[in-house]
Structure 1
Amino acid sequence: MAGNRGGGDAGESEWLKVAELRAMAESQEPHAKEVDNLTLRRFLRARDHNVEKASAMLVKAIRWRKEAVPGGSVPEEKVRRDLDDDKVYMGGADRTGRPILLAFPAKHFSAKRDMPQFKSYVVYLFDKICSRIPRGQEKFVCIVDLKGWGYSNCDIRAYIAAIEIMQNYYPERLGKALMIHVPYMFMKAWKLIYPFIDNVTRDKFVFVDDKSLQEVLHQEIDESQIPDTLGGKLEPVSLRNYERTLPA
């Protein structure tokens, strides 16, 4: 069963556990009735099919969302300052159809970060990328381009906050994170972040050296979907402008 964790079709035994999870979660939190079965399955897989642990995780997530996003979505105005920094872009899709998120940590500065606003921004961007996941897929891919990253960008608290939001409240949504153009000094920061990442999520972070970058990108993504900044043909869209590019 653990081999099913990463995605794919569920077997009958897994759906039976999903039903168990629903019954247990609804007995603790009435709003669990609003959660669809695929979401329940992601929480179940995130806790290695332990129904009790998955229920505790789901109930916590439901209550967190009611407090963190009382209106159901984060208003653009609330995260305008982070959006204006253009540190996240929407890309194309990988060869399996998973949408691509591009992150540029060198555009994030710890000195100007406001933690409550940053957390809202993280929720905003995860909601946006998850809304792009097509039917038949459940995950997205992230390319983290660390080119130009330095000490002024080092914000351990913010990085840990973002990872904890992702793994606790958006379980089994990240398919892979390609870490590229990684400066040596970033690895010192990574050693401080690493203990806060759960075992399942750790395996999804892939550090790519510069010599292998083009080979890895073309293995994962068709050239038409690779960002033009990385030698491909697609012009990514800033998260700040993403809503304006959607069809009416």
Structure 2
Amino acid sequence: MELLRVFPITTLPPPASTLSLRTKFVVRSCNLQLQSQRNDSRKLVLEVKEKLEKEHHSLPVGRNGRDDEDMILRFLKDRKFSVEEAVFKLTKAIKWRHDCEVSNLSEEAIKDISHTGKAYVHDFLDINNRPVLVVFASKHFPKAQDPADDERLCVYLIEKALSKLPPGEEQILAILDLKGFGVENADLKYLKFLFDVFYYYYPKRLSQVLFVDAPFVFKQFWRLIKPMLKSYASQVRFCSSETVRKEYFTDATLPPNFRE
């Protein structure tokens, strides 16, 4: 009796032309969805722009003004695309910029406090293509330094860091070097000001804050301030100088104070 040889049934892949059609369909669907999202965002931007013009006509225009569409879009994203909330927050931010004459801040305006060397904008970007603002907490003395000067320095350096953003990037990295921090450097009001500036006036601009080599006394201080910082507290990372070296910079771009 002749033995029958049984071969397994093989499922053949669909023709290449079918795969190509499926791929094109998926890509086209994604493109249409992205285009729809852009159109929706654009409509909301124009709605905010129109409301600002009608209800707050006295606000300045131009870059960082009531008709700055890039700025409007950032505030919309921050407010989860609520037009009313974005208008409210934008109005406050634009008035603040005007009243504080942010556009007129210069090296000359902050020269007295900048000489302390307490903060600077690093010359290089980090490995994630972000401008870097470095602060030395041990050089901050709230009893000896004018709070208004400190605030001007803060805003000037944020503006300087933002001016270094590469095309397509929107956020900066802040590093607080806490080596040598003591009770005399603790300033609850100023630290809250730093986070408030980003929350109210520069939303979606701060990517992360590194607290580097924090001593025990600072960690106690942090427990007091953390509840006041809203969602920005989640952007804080405590780490070591070694982490900064290994995870955020190359040998060529590392800030000098974190070199071994």
| Superposition TM-score, scaled by structure 1 size | 0.80
Aligned residues: 219
Aligned 8 A contact 1:90 1:101 in 2: yes
Which has the bigger relative contact order, CA under 8 A and spacing at least 6? 1
The one of 41, 45, 50 equivalent to 1:14 is 41
Letter aligned with residue 29 of structure 1: H
**Greater Rg by CA:** 2
What is the rounded CA distance, in whole Å, between the counterparts of 1:28 and 1:184 in structure 2? Answer: 50
5 Å matches for 1:70-219? 72-91=103-122, 92-199=124-231, 201-208=232-239, 210=240, 213-215=241-243, 217-219=245-247
1:227 — aligned with what?
Answer: 255
Letter aligned with residue 165 of structure 1: V
The one of 34, 39, 50 equivalent to 1:23 is 50
User: Which runs of no fewer than 5 residues in structure 2 stay unpaired?
Assistant: 1-34
| Superposition TM-score, scaled by structure 2 size | 0.77
Give percent identity, aligned residues only: 28
After superposition, give the CA deviation of every residue in 1:52-101 in whole Å (9 maximum; x if it has no partner).
Answer: 1111010111111111117x222433322210110112221122311111
2:29 — aligned with what?
Answer: none
Aligned 8 A contact 1:93 1:100 in 2: yes
SS for the counterpart of 2:208 is strand
What is the rounded CA distance, in whole Å, between the counterparts of 1:113 and 1:158 in structure 2? Answer: 12
What is the rounded CA distance, in whole Å, between the counterparts of 2:152 and 2:243 in structure 1? Answer: 35
| Structure 1 residues 32 and 58, CA gap change in structure 2 (3 angstroms) | farther
User: Which runs of no fewer than 5 residues in structure 1 stay unpaired?
Assistant: 1-8, 233-248
Q: What's the C-alpha RMSD, in Å, of the aligned pairs?
A: 2.1
SS for the counterpart of 1:182 is coil
Deviates more, 1:13-22 or 1:104-113: 13-22
SS for the counterpart of 1:176 is strand
What is the rounded CA distance, in whole Å, between the counterparts of 1:218 and 1:19 in structure 2? Answer: 44
